[in-house]
Amino acid sequence: MLRPNDEAKLVKALERSRELEALLADENAMSDTNQYGKLAKEFSNLSGIIEVYRSYQKTLVQINELQEIVKSKGDADFRELAQSELKDLDLQVQKLSQELADYFDPSKNEPDKDIIIEIRAGTGGLEASLFAADLYRMYTKYADLKGWKLELMSYVDTEAGGVKEVSFSLSGKECSKRLKWESGAHRVQRVPSTEASGRIHTSAVTVAILFEPEEIDLEINPKDLKIDVYRSSGPGGQSVNTTDSAVRITHLPTNTVVVCQDERSQLKNRAKAMRILRARILDHMQQEAFQKESALRKSQVGSGDRSEKIRTYNFPDRRVTDHRIGFTSHQLESILNGDMDELTNALMAAEKDLKEQAEVK
């Protein structure tokens, strides 16, 4: 059964959910898209636990009704059937109670956050850029399967059809929870199409997962920014347009530089560049704090170092191995086609085990 304090919090959450539902149904709410988005996100975050709470309440009502039948002097067979159903409902209410209790446990309840994924070709030349394109395709297909919203922010390709670097944002249920451990070096072992002798090459691609900060999380002084505009250019210096639409923003205190040139509008490029910049600065701050929090490392999957080799994709053996948790899958093609649940489930389970071990200590 729930603790009285948790029950009171759930009642407030239910009231807030009803209030948000009414606000979102108001035609005037649509006039402010920014505010509407915040309300919709809050409603989405509450909807899951509200659904569990309603199931919990419904189950309690059913239990009370069956208990009355058991206590009655009615048909013996009917009372025996009610007693049998009570056992199943007791197990169900225990499970629901645990889910609700976990909601108030910060170590188990993790809110969904919008993220920015940056993929960069590393060592390996042409083969690295081709594999960067493969990883971009893998994440986009996974996002499509999960129903997440994807927005391309910056894309620099190569003449051979590979990707030099790409940045895109993701938002949706569990996207941050499932992909937060993708940061690090991803290594590929395969025979390049240009290799006549059939020799296996090893290349690397780096992936960074950045959490998009809320306005209250990070405040940037405009005086700390240097903003340059210039004409966009494509692979090999090919001109994309004839206006100064490309934007380069430099955050002077951290020497963080972001370039966006995919949009024809300077304003759109600037807005995207600022989103990436804010995410990178917040990530820089979090990395510094992480280095100081040695206790936190005990509950982390991997070292948290962006240069850490986290995963190998071996094409000859059709194998994907995550080195941090010792997990291996032989479903290489499925994973690269976006079916990543096997991987992300294993990482979430490993994180849970590490946190529980840290709590025991």
Q: Where are the alpha helices (DSSP H) in the chain?
A: 4-25, 33-71, 76-103, 126-146, 175-179, 266-292, 294-297, 332-336, 341-360
Number of domains observed in the structure of the chain? 3
Domain identity same for 91 and 145: no
Paired residues of 118 in beta bridges: 167, 208
- Distance, in Å, from the CA atom of 265 to the CA atom of 267, rounded to the nearest integer, reads 5
The answer to whether 221 touches 242, Cβ cutoff 8 Å, is no
The answer to whether 301 touches 295, Cβ cutoff 8 Å, is no
Domain identity same for 129 and 183: yes
Domain boundary among the residues 79, 103, 127 is at 103
User: Hey, what are 145's tokens?
Assistant: 């399967």
DSSP string spanning 130-170? HHHHHHHHHHHHHHHHHT-EEEEEEEEE-TTS-EEEEEEEE
Element (H, E) at 256: strand 256-260
Determine the 3-state secondary structure of 344 from DSSP.
helix
pLDDT (tens, 9 = 90+) of the chain, 361 residues, equals 677 778 888 889 899 999 999 988 887 777 877 778 878 888 888 888 899 999 999 999 999 988 888 888 777 888 888 888 998 999 999 999 888 887 776 556 677 889 999 999 988 888 999 999 999 999 999 999 999 999 998 899 888 889 999 999 999 988 998 999 999 999 999 988 767 677 889 999 999 999 887 655 577 888 999 998 887 765 444 445 556 788 999 999 989 999 888 778 888 888 888 889 988 888 888 777 666 555 445 556 655 555 679 999 999 999 999 999 999 999 999 999 999 999 999 998 888 788 767 655 5
The answer to whether 199 touches 191, Cβ cutoff 8 Å, is yes
Q: What is the 3-state secondary structure (H, E, C) of 220-242?
A: CCHHHEEEEEECCECHHHCECCC
Domain identity same for 194 and 316: yes
Domain identity same for 240 and 290: yes
Domain identity same for 195 and 124: yes
User: Hey, what are 21's tokens?
Assistant: 């539902």
User: Hey, what are 266's tokens?
Assistant: 């300077």
The answer to whether 269 touches 247, Cβ cutoff 8 Å, is yes
Domain identity same for 37 and 91: yes
Does 28 reside within a domain?
Answer: yes
- Assign residue 335 a region (left: φ > 0; alpha: ψ between -120 and 50; beta: otherwise): alpha
Does 303 reside within a domain?
Answer: no
Does 151 reside within a domain?
Answer: yes
- Distance, in Å, from the CA atom of 83 to the CA atom of 67, rounded to the nearest integer, reads 8
What pLDDT does 217 receive? 59
Full residue range of the structural domain in which residue 131 is found: 113-212+311-361
Does 136 reside within a domain?
Answer: yes
Domain identity same for 176 and 36: no
Does 304 reside within a domain?
Answer: no
- Distance, in Å, from the CA atom of 316 to the CA atom of 188, rounded to the nearest integer, reads 11
Other Cβ atoms less than 10 A from the Cβ of 99: the count is 16
The predicted model scores a pTM of: 0.65
Kindly report the backbone phi and psi dihedral angles of residue 338, in degrees, each rounded to the nearest multiple of 5, phi listed first: 100, -5
- Distance, in Å, from the CA atom of 115 to the CA atom of 282, rounded to the nearest integer, reads 12
Domain boundary among the residues 240, 266, 294 is at 294
What pLDDT does 286 receive? 72
Residue 246's domain is classified under what CATH number? 3.30.160.20
Domain identity same for 204 and 349: yes
Angle, to 10 degrees, between the axis of helix 76-103 and the axis of helix 4-25? 80
Residue 174's domain is classified under what CATH number? 3.30.70.1660
Does 305 reside within a domain?
Answer: no
The answer to whether 147 touches 209, Cβ cutoff 8 Å, is no
Find, among 196, 187, 199, 137, the residue nearest to 162 by Cα.
Answer: 137
What pLDDT does 145 receive? 96
Find, among 19, 79, 65, 78, the residue nearest to 43 by Cα.
Answer: 19
Kindly report the backbone phi and psi dihedral angles of residue 195, in degrees, each rounded to the nearest multiple of 5, phi listed first: -90, 105
Does 197 reside within a domain?
Answer: yes
Other Cβ atoms less than 10 A from the Cβ of 39: the count is 18
Does 299 reside within a domain?
Answer: no
- Distance, in Å, from the CA atom of 326 to the CA atom of 321, rounded to the nearest integer, reads 7
The answer to whether 306 touches 183, Cβ cutoff 8 Å, is yes
Domain boundary among the residues 261, 294, 327 is at 294
- Distance, in Å, from the CA atom of 184 to the CA atom of 309, rounded to the nearest integer, reads 6
User: Hey, what are 242's tokens?
Assistant: 């004839």
Domain identity same for 67 and 122: no
Domain identity same for 36 and 67: yes
